[in-house]
Structure 1
Amino acid sequence: MKKQTLAIDTPFQKGDAYGALSMPVYHTLAYEFDNASVMSDAFCGRIEEPDYSRVMNPTVNYLELKIKALTGAERVTAMSSGMAAISGALFSLVEQGKNVVSSRHMFGNTYSLLTKTLPRLGVTPHLCDLTNLEEVEAAVDENTCCIFLEIITNPQLEVADLASLASIAHKHNIPLVADTTVIPFTEFCAHELGVDIEVVSTTKYLSGGATTLGGIVIDYGGHPEFARRLHDEMLFNLGAYMTPHVAYMQNLGLENLKARYEYEVRNTVALVNRLRTLPAIKSVNYVGLPDNPYYELAQRQFGKTAGCMFTIDLESKEACFKFINSLKLIRRATNLFDNRTLAIHPASTIFGPFNDEQRAAMDVLDTTIRISVGMEDVDDLFDDFKQALA
């Protein structure tokens, strides 16, 4: 079946007693077993039966099975947030005395995880330019656990060559781990590009308009110990599993994801082309523009799509604040890929805890505003930009 059909009609694990068309919310904690042997098999992982909702729940498991069917992954694990997915994946790979090769171009909390949290546990970040393959080769050594990146960095909008990075990773027998949140996994196949482990903040596109908080780890089998560590250690010992109500909402969001995404992409393309005509905007950065330096690579990797996030640069930080304060329709809020269009000044918010030198190293500028495009009429969005810039 095609992906859109699978997103709606993936069969339930078991038939529902009442013939429900949508997977019900199993808002329960524990499950009764027929006998002690079955109970033991469930707890020890010899059979796929829920034993305790902190580590397995039928509603959550259905979302995992649906995404597994859509991606062809060996295993999918639903987590409580995107950051839980990232930290769970990395904690399943790293060891004391090892290192992670990554970039300074990434979301602020991910950067903090790599440069503050992991070093306290004896894991060193090797940060380099992931678009420079020679630099990546030099950064990888015998203690490297993985190469980690965002497929389109937030908010720099840098795109690295996934197939080339995968080649380097696999030559050294380490996995390539990619945060693919910016492009839905229904739109391209990360595994075909060499990605071994995919992490996604399902809070974004999947939730269906910022309804719920969640994350997923998609494992394509690139590391022999990864699945065991993620399930037996991260889920059991850290307790960051998705809740059943969140899974129910995100199951519904997945069903209409394609329609929402295609509409938002059309909005984004139309809006960025109009914004380039406004003199007050010094530059518009969107990977889907043909003159963008990453356009051809992004087209090869992700197809005819570049997501619904772009940035604009104004003349100063003061101009950015004045613009944001003057918005009437577009919301002053964080998050990405809501049904509503959102604007934020990354340097003073997401990256506010970092000092000027750190932000400069991450190429986070005071003049940049990040826009996440929603589902409003594009004429109304453009009008709001014009009046706020006036």
Structure 2
Amino acid sequence: MSDLKQKTNALHAGHDTKLTGGTRAVPIYQTSSYVFNNTEHAANLFGLKEFGFIYTRLNNPTNDILEKRLAAVEGGVGAAVFASGSSAISSTFLTLLKAGDHIVSSNSLYGGTFNLLNVTLPRFGINTSFVDPDDVSTFQAAIQENTRAIFIESLGNPKLDVLDIEAIANVAKANNIPLIVDNTVATPTLLNPIKYGANIVIHSLTKYIGGQGTSLGGAVIDAGNFDWTNGKFPEFTEPSKGYHGLKYAEALGEIAFIVKLRLEGLRDFGGALSPYNAFQIIQGLETLDLRIKQHSKNALEFATWLTEQDEVDWVKYPGLAGDKYNDLAKKYLPDGQSGIVTVGLKGGYEAAQKLADNAKIFSLLANIGDTKSLLIHPASTTHQQLSLEDQLSAGVRPELIRLSIGLEDLEDLKNDFKQALKA
């Protein structure tokens, strides 16, 4: 089974039908807790002498299958799922870092992530330097003695900048720190950051992997390729006070991070994914390959059409021949550039808001990756809390509309956009 291709793994990995009563579909294990065989069995589970199910905040059979599938399709050694993408990101940082540590991050981020790094984590003594990812040398220049991670989005939301993951991974490796990549917009179908040197991959499962707009979820995939014993991460090499002196790196080897994330991140911060949502997300993962390629095809055609509209000032989509990131897209996203398109209207901020108010098929809401087409005006919503300078750094201009192109007939989408432009 280890030699199966990605599309097959998305349908089969982690599910042994002989262990689930012959069920072809993954069952929903809607339970909070699990009966132990006896007190010795319970003690062994809590003492990490054997693996098993203790409490659904830590693990669950439905979630376990989703985790194994995500690890398989991303090429990792293990995964942990969370209640949301934001929970996955915050739990990763709070498990990995401590007060006094430092992060170097690309400046083109989802607004919620930017605020986590810029506002919330500094309250815990963890600070971030934001750099322009177009110039890879800025990552090295921002490295400090206490830097313990580099964080990027593989395809920035909503800037749609394609990052040179391989070059940034080389910077991380040279400084003995992990590269953490949010791969939500690209998805594992279109891009596997681990192939280019990433150490940890994060997803908001709410978006393309779930794909239906029904369920929140997040995931962290561990590549198992980082040396936690290099001297910069004593929490992995010194005895753990929470687990009777356990030394994570020594005891767990390549899965040290993902186990620590589960044992501390889920145990202490509690951002557990519900089994029902895990089930829903599994359904989405099974059709991801088909959907994301059609999303990408539709987005490219729609972006091309937008460039021909008189009311449009500019269009950004990495698949367009003239786009700034087209060459990087050919390297990292040759099978499609996902379903997000950004467009700037000549009428500026007010015109963008009016268009959003008058669209009929495009739904005005704060999400991406649905089968239905969506739009939003980031300057007044998702990135409203950022300063104007930070908005512009993230690629959010006043006239920008972010479009998540769905699976509808493109002629209907074009006609809807035409009428909204006239309005």
> What band does the TM-score fall into relative to the shorter chain?
over 0.9
Partners of 2:389 and 2:327 lie apart in 1 by 32
Work out whether 1:138 is the aligned partner of 2:145: no
Quote the residue 2:311 is aligned against.
280
Work out whether 1:128 is the aligned partner of 2:128: no
Quote the residue 2:163 is aligned against.
160
Quote the residue 2:254 is aligned against.
none
Quote the residue 2:121 is aligned against.
118
Match of 1:92, SS? helix
> Would the aligned equivalents of 1:13 and 1:62 in 2 still touch at CA under 8 Å?
no
Match of 1:54, SS? coil
Moved more, 62-71 or 306-315: 62-71
Quote the residue 1:69 is aligned against.
72
Q: Aligned ranges for residues 77-226 of structure 1 at < 5 Å?
A: 77-221=80-224, 222=226, 224=228, 225=236, 226=257
Q: Deviations over 1:79-111 (max 9, x none)?
A: 110001111111122221111001221111100
Q: Aligned ranges for residues 250-329 of structure 1 at < 5 Å?
A: 250-315=281-346, 316-329=348-361
Q: Aligned ranges for residues 221-260 of structure 1 at < 5 Å?
A: 221=224, 222=226, 224=228, 225=236, 226-260=257-291
Match of 1:126, SS? strand
Moved more, 209-218 or 86-95: 86-95
* Post-superposition offset of 1:70: 2.1
State the AA in 2 paired with 1:325. Answer: D
State the AA in 2 paired with 1:51. Answer: I
Partners of 1:131 and 1:285 lie apart in 2 by 16
* Post-superposition offset of 1:172: 0.6
* Post-superposition offset of 1:202: 0.4
* Post-superposition offset of 1:211: 1.4
State the AA in 2 paired with 1:376. Answer: E
Partners of 1:358 and 1:295 lie apart in 2 by 24
**Structure 1: unaligned runs, 5 residues or longer:** none
Q: CA RMSD in A?
A: 1.5
**What is the identity percentage for the equivalent residue pairs of Structure 1 and Structure 2?**
33
Cα pair distance change 1:223/1:88, threshold 3 Å: farther
State the AA in 1 paired with 2:134. Answer: T
* Post-superposition offset of 1:338: 0.4
Q: Aligned ranges for residues 25-44 of structure 1 at < 5 Å?
A: 25-44=28-47
Match of 2:312, SS? coil
Moved more, 357-366 or 335-344: 357-366
Partners of 1:246 and 1:36 lie apart in 2 by 32
> Would the aligned equivalents of 2:316 and 2:341 in 1 still touch at CA under 8 Å?
yes
* Post-superposition offset of 1:331: 0.8
**Structure 2: unaligned runs, 5 residues or longer:** 229-235, 237-256
* Post-superposition offset of 1:254: 0.8
Quote the residue 2:401 is aligned against.
369
Match of 1:186, SS? helix
Cα pair distance change 1:17/1:372, threshold 3 Å: closer
Moved more, 200-209 or 361-370: 361-370
Work out whether 1:15 is the aligned partner of 2:18: yes
Partners of 1:372 and 1:217 lie apart in 2 by 24
Q: Deviations over 1:335-371 (max 9, x none)?
A: 0010110010000000112333442443421110000
> Would the aligned equivalents of 1:193 and 1:301 in 2 still touch at CA under 8 Å?
no
Match of 1:115, SS? helix
Match of 2:186, SS? coil
Match of 1:205, SS? coil
Partners of 1:363 and 1:207 lie apart in 2 by 26
Partners of 1:6 and 1:268 lie apart in 2 by 26
Moved more, 367-376 or 68-77: 68-77
> Would the aligned equivalents of 1:208 and 1:252 in 2 still touch at CA under 8 Å?
no
Match of 2:64, SS? helix
> Would the aligned equivalents of 2:45 and 2:54 in 1 still touch at CA under 8 Å?
yes
State the AA in 2 paired with 1:242. Answer: L
Quote the residue 2:418 is aligned against.
386
Match of 2:148, SS? strand
